[in-house]
């Protein structure tokens, strides 16, 4: 499971011109689910994301987590994160989870974030989404299990 997180001032996801998810200050998270990912790994990654210290404290150091900063999170499914790009000129998606399993773990991840007390918005799994954001920093990290 791969989470690409970006610290943002705002983020929004649209499908067919309609906003389906939006947040103010917090994290935009693109989630890629791979074959072999598990429920326990999903839960562990959700906890890691909300505890990951990427927000500045009063001294300007990245010492605060999403929970500590009071930020929100927008979770967008992105199977392309599971692409194998090591060779050739076309990505291979053979390591991506099948859509049904990807969606199940995506929904579990979102549920975990909400149960951990984070205001959570989402995109629409499997849809053609347009994502708008203002990256804060820019600050971007890739978290993997």
DSSP state of 4: E
**Catalytic, out of 68, 80, 134, 140:** 80
For residue range 44-57, what is the model confidence (pLDDT) as tens digits? 999 999 999 999 99
The domains located in the chain, with CATH, are: 2-125 (3.50.80.10)
- Structure confidence by residue, pLDDT tens digits, 13-37: 999 999 999 999 999 999 999 999 9
Residue 61 has pLDDT above 90, yes or no: yes
Mean pLDDT of 70-95: 95
**What is the arithmetic mean of pLDDT over 81-95?**
93
Distance CA(86)–CA(90), nearest Å, equals 10
The answer to whether residue 145 scores a pLDDT higher than 90 is no
How many whole angstroms separate alpha carbon 45 and alpha carbon 23? Answer: 20
pLDDT at 123: 97
pLDDT, position 7: 98
The reply to whether 141 belongs to the active site is: no
Instruction: Centre a 10 Å sphere on the Cβ of residue 20 and count the other Cβ atoms it contains.
Output: 16
Tokens of 84: 């194998």
CA dihedral 128, 43, 8, 137 (to 10 degrees): -120
The residue from 78, 112, 120, 122 that is catalytic is 78
Q: What pLDDT is stored for residue 47 in this prediction?
A: 97
* Per-residue pLDDT, 94: 92
pLDDT score of 96? 95
Instruction: Let me know if 19 is a catalytic residue.
Output: no
Is residue 78 over pLDDT 90?
yes
Mean pLDDT of 116-137: 97
* Dist CA 73 CA 8 (whole Å): 9
Q: Catalytic: which of 79, 112, 120, 122?
A: 79
Cα gap 105→100, rounded to integer Å: 9
Tell me the C-alpha distance between 29 and 128, whole Å. 16
- Assess whether 78 carries a catalytic annotation: yes
What mean pLDDT, rounded, does the chain reach?
A: 97
């Amino acid at each position: 499971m791969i989470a690409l997180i970006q610290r943002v001032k705002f983020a929004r996801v649209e499908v067919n011109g309609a906003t389906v998810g939006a947040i103010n200050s917090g994290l935009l998270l693109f989630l890629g689910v791979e074959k072999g990912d598990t429920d326990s790994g999903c839960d562990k990654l959700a906890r890691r994301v909300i505890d990951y210290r990427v927000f500045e404290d009063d001294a300007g150091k990245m010492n605060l987590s999403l929970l500590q900063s009071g930020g929100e999170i927008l979770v967008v499914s992105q199977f392309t994160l599971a692409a194998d790009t090591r060779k050739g000129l076309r990505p291979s998606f053979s390591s991506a989870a099948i859509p049904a399993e990807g969606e199940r773990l995506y929904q579990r991840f979102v549920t975990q974030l909400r149960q951990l007390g984070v205001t959570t918005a989402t995109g629409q799994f499997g849809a053609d989404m347009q994502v708008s954001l203002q990256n804060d920093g820019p600050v971007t990290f890739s978290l993997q299990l």
